Amino acid sequence: MSLRVISKWTVIIGTLLIWTVKFIIRPFVHIPHSLKTLFGLAPNLIGSFLLPFGACWLFTWMFGMRTMKELKIACWFGLVLVVINEYLQLIPFFGRTFDYLDILSSFIGVFLGYITYARLMLKLEYRTYP
């Protein structure tokens, strides 16, 4: 299976998981107080994890995603956009809330996504070229 197909299904399943947390679990399921922070950060963590996979699937024309350098550029670009989005939430017009924990979870998510994608990329590269 190609990396682009794997990325496509990872993004689709990840998006469905984010929607499940945001629109089903958080509004309708009682979450114990000790887990509320985790469920609050989960969409940012999962969404940031999906950044390299989304770049591979949707933006291959912009980020080649064939080398580690291109992967790093895509991850840094995505992380910068996520941080800018979080800081834009300081503007009251948008009706959103700013949270440093969201930025921290985004950093963790992008880091984990980078490591996972890089390992997958190397594994498929070695399998392709014995």
pTM of structure: 0.88
**Residue 117 token pair:** 């994608």
Of residues 114 and 58, more confidence is placed in 114
Cα dihedral sign for 18, 87, 49, 54?
positive
User: Tokens 């994608």 label which residue?
Assistant: 117
The C-alpha atoms of residue 51 and residue 78 are separated, in whole angstroms, by 6
125 versus 41: the higher-pLDDT residue is 41
Domain count, the chain: 1
Range of the domain at 118: 3-128
Are the beta carbons of 121 and 71 closer than 8 angstroms?
yes
pLDDT value at residue 97: 85
CB atoms within 10 A of CB 29: 9
pLDDT digits (tens, 9 = 90+) for 61-107: 777 788 899 999 999 999 999 999 999 999 888 788 888 999 999 99
pLDDT digits (tens, 9 = 90+) for 4-61: 999 999 999 999 999 999 999 999 999 999 999 999 999 999 999 999 999 999 887 7
End-to-end CA distance of the chain: 16
